[in-house]
Amino acid sequence: MEKPNEETLKNLSFDESAPNAKIKRQIDGFVGAQQIDIPESALARHLNLFYITHIGYYPNAQFHYRRRENGCNDYILIYCLNGKGHYTCEQGSFTVKPNQFILLTPHQFHCYQSDIDDPWTIYWVHFTGKNIEDLKADLNLDRFSIPTDLPYNEKTIELWQEMYSSILDGFSTDNMNYANLSLYRFISFFLFPTKAKYTIKESKKVDPLEQSITFMKTNIHRRLSAEEIAKEFNFSASHYSALFKKKTGLSPIDFFIRIKIRYACQLLTQSNLIVKEVAEKIGYDDPYNFSRIFKKITGSSPLEYKKTIHKKFKDEALINN
């Protein structure tokens, strides 16, 4: 295929004068979306050949649109589970369909958007690493810059959820190393799909209560009731609540709130988000209600907690220096 020239490239499928050019566009913020941006301090570059920098899930991402004139510093893997999207790169313009993926090369123009009538549902991950250029050559990564078919494998989604859940538990060295080592396996499903095993070991008994905890972690942005969680796992609310409390010592909602507050603690100390933004990230529209619950669980207001932790880090740095 002949490469389009630069002027043509920047207009392929994204004509600003087109009838739909004035349609609302979004980078993120979709209902049900999940996203984690890894702070610089937690990337642990020296430990991993390549590593996650951002990870997310956008369900039914209507109006989703991204355009980067000079690309991105990272590789971006986008896996379309449902719906459609449209994508332009140096190789041309393409439609991304269900059970297809694209791997965007760093520092190259790209533009992608969700289909207007059939918006895509995507899992995505940004990754990079100090030896990424060697991997690019060894694995011939450029061949995946156009939409590539991927036979559906539920293990792909399960592994994404493991990576996301590990990072959601905090940016500790163990959590990040587990997620980053899992990334190798995750990417292998895309690069070598015929090698993947599609059967689940029957001997492995699934614990629905553990599954419900994972469900909470991956839906931390939502306001869920015990009834809604129980329904996901075919329990009545009363039976589920009784089993859950027996296992954890807490009601499902108390447990869910503590997961939210733990994540809020991470955001307060490892990001530049203000209290209102942190509250929104974990499903609270009212920052005052969030602050009240935060103080009830931690004993401090969000601002007090942030100041205390920052002072502790500063004091430790002075001692270590």
Residue-wise pLDDT tens digits, 170-226: 788 888 889 999 998 999 899 888 776 544 443 345 688 888 888 888 888 889 999
For residues 195 and 309, state if they share a domain. no
For residues 136 and 88, state if they share a domain. yes
For residues 186 and 284, state if they share a domain. no
Instruction: For tokens 């393409």, name the residue.
Output: 94
- pTM confidence score: 0.58
Three-class secondary structure of residue 15 per DSSP: coil
For residues 136 and 193, state if they share a domain. yes
* Segment 122-130 mean pLDDT: 90
pLDDT for the residue 202: 38
- Round to whole Å and give the CA distance between 19 and 17: 7
For residues 101 and 200, state if they share a domain. yes
The count of other CB atoms within 10 Å of the CB of residue 237 is 15
pLDDT for the residue 254: 94
Q: Work out how many domains the chain is built from and give that number.
A: 2
- Which of 145, 171, 204 marks a domain boundary? 204
Per-residue confidence at 312, pLDDT binned at 50, 70, 90? low
For residues 43 and 170, state if they share a domain. yes
| Contacts for 26 with CB less than 8 Å, ≥ 6 apart | 61, 62, 63, 64, 65
- Residue-wise pLDDT for 234-292, tens only, equals 899 999 999 999 988 899 999 999 999 988 888 887 778 899 999 999 999 999 999 99
The domain that holds 223 is classified in CATH as: 1.10.10.60
Residue 232: domain span: 214-321
Per-residue confidence at 126, pLDDT binned at 50, 70, 90? very high
Residue 64 DSSP label: B
Closest by CA position to 2, among listed 86, 70, 90: 90
Calculate helix-pair angle for 154-168, 208-218, nearest 10 degrees: 70
What is the β-pairing status of strands 75-82 and 121-128?
antiparallel
